[in-house]
Chain A
Amino acid sequence: MKDLADRIEKIILNSPVWTEARFHRRRSQSLQVQKGLVKQAKSNLTEGVGIRCLVDGAWGFSSTSDLSSAGLEKALKLAIECAKSLSQMKKSAVKSLPDQGLSRGEFKLEGYEALLQMPLERKLAAVIEAEQNVRNRSKTIQTAVCGYNEQFEDKIVITTDGARAVSQLARNEIRLSAIASENGEMAEGQHTVGRTGSWDCLFTENSILEMGESAAKLAVDLLKAPKLPGGLSTLILSPAMVGLLCHEAIGHTVEADFVLSGSVAQGKLGHTVASPLITLCDAGTVHNSPHAGGALLVDDEGVATQNTVIIKDGILNSYLHNRESAATFGVAPTGNARAWLYQDEPLIRMRNTFILPGQTQLQQIIESTENGYLVDCPLGGQADATGEFMFGAQKVMKIEKGKISRMYRGATISGQAFAVLSSVDAVSKEFHLDLGAGYCGKGQPAKVDAGGPYIRCKAMIGGVQD
């Protein structure tokens, strides 16, 4: 990597304009086993350099998989031409980019070597066994699937204004799912986990067998579960659901590019947007969760990541920035610029987004809930710039007079994010980052994680009407 970094730096430092070069090599491997058959075992290598230039306040970008000096010089020339061409059309020039946090050095996250050294053959054997165990859990399990993905990311980011960051990290994720079938009814249960680190990092909370048991049990239980009635309800959201709320409904609205487009968070810095029990952060690394799925030491503009406190004690404190938006707002960049592959330009993206834990035990929160639902096992979700969100949940448990009574089939949770966070009256001590197997989509995918404590709030739950 050092030789390549030297060669790229030599070319970039001769550029007549502000230039950023980002080498990215991704090696990925995927396995999928279903009903005892290996459906997929594959390996991929993608590498190249993306070059971005700023000419007269306009961006130009070009990418190439040709890593020769001639190939890099050609890409640089094209990027400059693109920027020059755009500068004739642009109404508002990009301001001079702030240089706070620009990194130099080598940055490596734990677990990279261990995951690389573990043979794919051993991983495949574990995946085959895990899938078989899920199928053997119950006669009603008709199909089971176990999927495993891993990515090794090697990057070099060099800019003409001083960044030179060489970074390496490895991410992996495992998904177990079971489809149960009985008397014409079908239901699916899943358990997923995603981490940054070695194979063993995936199983620090549950073993692979326990994950399979959990997926199988959920599928079987859901077979007999009725649909729930819809309406405004008191909900206790699990850490995974809280993660979805933090990411989809708050995180996207505070990405500075969305703010500038007119998201609901525009103009609300310093305003109360949530209950005083809520402090919400987005961080490159998370204390007590060293293997968070979105862990990142340096972003794709060469800026060191940091813990950005988005909401502090209920008050909106910061947006998420790249260098361009930081210049627009007159603040320091927060290390949120990320690109999926070398062909992609860096966008403002989240990393690990979470609410800080509170002081109450989950059991106490349940016992003090007269009538409501405990909502868990997210199925994904979306949110608008308005903060209106929609999340799917696979598992909904009724709470009556302080006790969990029955399970309902999956439902949709909806509301306006700031209104829901303002309704929070309890935050648990228990804390998990629980969305590490997830990808965020914003034109490009990004590996992220999210989570938090259990929180009690009010939101709409979609169900059947009489």
Chain B
Amino acid sequence: MESLKKERHQLENASSKLISEALKAGADSAEVCGTFGQKTRISLEKQDFHLASSDDGYQFGVRVLKGQRQGYASCNSLDSKELKEVALRAVEIAGFSPDNPYFSIQSATSNKTEHPVELWDEALSHISLQTQKDWIQWMAKEMLKDKRIRLNEGNLELGRGLYLVTNSKGTHQIETDSHCTWSLMGMAAEGNEITSFDYFSQISRKAQGIGDKIIKTSAQFRDSLLKNLKTGPAKSYCGVVIFSPRAVLDILIDSIIYHLNGRVLLEGSSRWKLEDTGKVLLNPAIELVDSPFDSERFSCVLFDREGTPTQESVLFSQGVLKTFLFDHYSAKGLHQSSNGHAVGGPSGPPTVGSHSLSLKSGRESLSQLLKSLPQQNQGILWVNRYSGQTDPVTGDFSGVVKGSEWWENGEFQHCVKETLISGNVFDCLGKGLLGLSRETQIVDCSGESPTAFLDGISVTAG
């Protein structure tokens, strides 16, 4: 690829320098994560175009091991002197840190990633500033078609970059990425009625069709804001609540991921144990998969933060725990192998995380599930968004619903304000799960989920 040839060369040279300086200074092994990013951005604020910006830069982080002691240092410079100082700093930190038997920098099992997706689009990497201006003008025009919309901010960014992980044990992975991201944040106002803020963000890694996607997603966002202008009361009750795909992912799945984190498991803070693998721990309807290979989602990665090729991981199938998320640290402590879930960038050492989660659909359609509900005439809360706290340890959650709806007898009545919900994640994904819809949605180019019908949730109406 000619486009970023010079930058790739500089990134690889600086990374080699960091590793060699660290080894010279006494490190037993060293790993470097390096990035180069170049972006142009046009932003909107207060119904108008606000700022155009352009920048590029490198970032490097070096992790060293001296015996079982680890040190880490990072910088954003290509300067040889500074790179040397950073390597020395990492070795110095390792020198006074106590032993931790789980640290490791491992040799590559394979530097080959089976590339099922392409993250680089030559056409997208050469989009002109004029086209970028056209796109954001279309976005603003669509969003502001209705005078009741209050646009707080919006962005359209074109970016391209490199991501590299290399170590002294033979791992060497580098990936090139081009992307266009766009986002909007705003509310709707009519008379004294003001809706809550809402936000959306999208990504595309292919130039073809972006203009249409921008217009379509902006229109959807505008319409969802306007819908929230019609507000009315909710009722307090304890019982069935409907969670949108966004609510399922934000409230329920994030907590599940905490307990599947290999490092949390190693520390003994997970509610589950390694021996629970193969056991039914959640409702049999739960099928949860982590896949990093959808290029139209934000987190599409072909190798992880330690250079391990990523893979699709089935986390739960029919409620049965299939695997935890491991990096080398947690895998070493638990006598497992990394399954490519080290995450992070150059500013810090690797941690563990998921990539792009998908909760699989149920068998019945939304309308069939609605008809089967017991509380039809008393009303039911449909949670679209949520602003609150979830205690990942206990699974207890409590917060205010946003942009959420009140339904009676299978019909939308109005949106609600000042309504709180509380419940427990594990109850919701256990006996409290009444059904998952056949229809699913990818939320903000991130996770995918169906709509969930859940029992045992407390609703407190203002």
Which residues of A come within 8 Å of B, CB atoms? 30, 34-35, 37-48, 58-65, 75, 78-79, 81-83, 85-86, 89-92, 120-121, 124, 128, 142-143, 179, 185-188, 227, 230-232, 257-258, 260-262, 264, 343, 345, 379-380, 382, 384-386, 388, 390, 392, 409-412, 414-416, 443, 460, 462-466
CB distance from B193 to the nearest CB of A (A): 9
Say whether B418 contacts A415, CB under 8 Å. yes
Max chain A C-beta neighbours (<10 A), residue from B196, B347, B420? B420
Say whether A230 contacts B460, CB under 8 Å. yes
Assembly CA distance A227 to B389 (angstroms): 15
Assembly CA distance A35 to B266 (angstroms): 11
CB distance from B161 to the nearest CB of A (A): 14
Say whether A390 contacts B150, CB under 8 Å. no
Residues of A with C-beta under 8 A to B54:
61-62, 78-79, 81-82
Known A44-B74, A463-B460; contact A390-B394, beta-carbon cutoff 8 A: no
Say whether B52 contacts A38, CB under 8 Å. no
Assembly CA distance A65 to B51 (angstroms): 20
Say whether B394 contacts A412, CB under 8 Å. no
Interface mask (B219-250 → A, CB under 8 Å = 1, otherwise 0) = 00000000000000000111000000000000
B462 at interface, CB cutoff 8 A: yes
Known A45-B74, A60-B53; contact A86-B42, beta-carbon cutoff 8 A: yes
Residues of A with C-beta under 8 A to B74:
42-45
Say whether A85 contacts B129, CB under 8 Å. yes
Say whether A43 contacts B55, CB under 8 Å. no
Assembly CA distance A463 to B267 (angstroms): 31
Say whether B237 contacts A186, CB under 8 Å. no
* In-complex Cβ contact of A416 among B45, B57, B396, B418 (8 A): B418
Name the 5 nearest CB pairs between A and B, nearest first: A392-B389, A462-B420, A230-B460, A82-B52, A42-B72
Residues of A with C-beta under 8 A to B110:
none
CB distance from A266 to the nearest CB of B (A): 9
Interface mask (B393-424 → A, CB under 8 Å = 1, otherwise 0) = 11010111010000000000000011011100
* In-complex Cβ contact of B102 among A37, A46, A409, A416 (8 A): A37
B86 at interface, CB cutoff 8 A: yes
Within 8 A of A (CB), among B149-174: 150-153
Known A179-B393, A460-B420; contact A34-B267, beta-carbon cutoff 8 A: yes
Interface mask (B70-81 → A, CB under 8 Å = 1, otherwise 0) = 111111110000
B187 at interface, CB cutoff 8 A: yes
Say whether A460 contacts B462, CB under 8 Å. yes
Say whether A462 contacts B398, CB under 8 Å. yes
Say whether A59 contacts B52, CB under 8 Å. yes
Within 8 A of A (CB), among B355-401: 387-389, 391, 393-394, 396, 398-400
B50 at interface, CB cutoff 8 A: yes
Say whether B48 contacts A90, CB under 8 Å. yes
The chain B residue with its CB closest to the CB of A43 is B73
Q: How many A-B residue pairs have CB under 8 A?
A: 236
Residues of A with C-beta under 8 A to B268:
35, 142-143
Say whether B93 contacts A41, CB under 8 Å. yes
Say whether B400 contacts A414, CB under 8 Å. yes
B137 at interface, CB cutoff 8 A: yes
Residues of A with C-beta under 8 A to B73:
42-45
Say whether A261 contacts B100, CB under 8 Å. no
Residues of B with C-beta under 8 A to A75:
55
Interface mask (B88-121 → A, CB under 8 Å = 1, otherwise 0) = 0110010011101010000000000000000000
Residues of B with C-beta under 8 A to A443:
153
Residues of A with C-beta under 8 A to B189:
262
Say whether A59 contacts B51, CB under 8 Å. yes
Known A230-B460, A382-B387, A386-B194; contact A186-B76, beta-carbon cutoff 8 A: no
Residues of B with C-beta under 8 A to A45:
73-77, 82, 86
Say whether A385 contacts B89, CB under 8 Å. no
Say whether B196 contacts A386, CB under 8 Å. yes
Say whether B100 contacts A43, CB under 8 Å. no
Say whether B349 contacts A40, CB under 8 Å. yes
B300 at interface, CB cutoff 8 A: no
Known A45-B86, A86-B42; contact A65-B77, beta-carbon cutoff 8 A: yes
Given contacts A47-B77, A260-B46, A262-B194, 9 further A-B contacts (CB under 8 A): A41-B72, A45-B76, A45-B77, A62-B54, A386-B196, A410-B398, A411-B422, A462-B399, A462-B421
Residues of A with C-beta under 8 A to B52:
58-61, 82-83, 85-86
CB distance from B165 to the nearest CB of A (A): 17
B458 at interface, CB cutoff 8 A: yes
Say whether B53 contacts A82, CB under 8 Å. yes
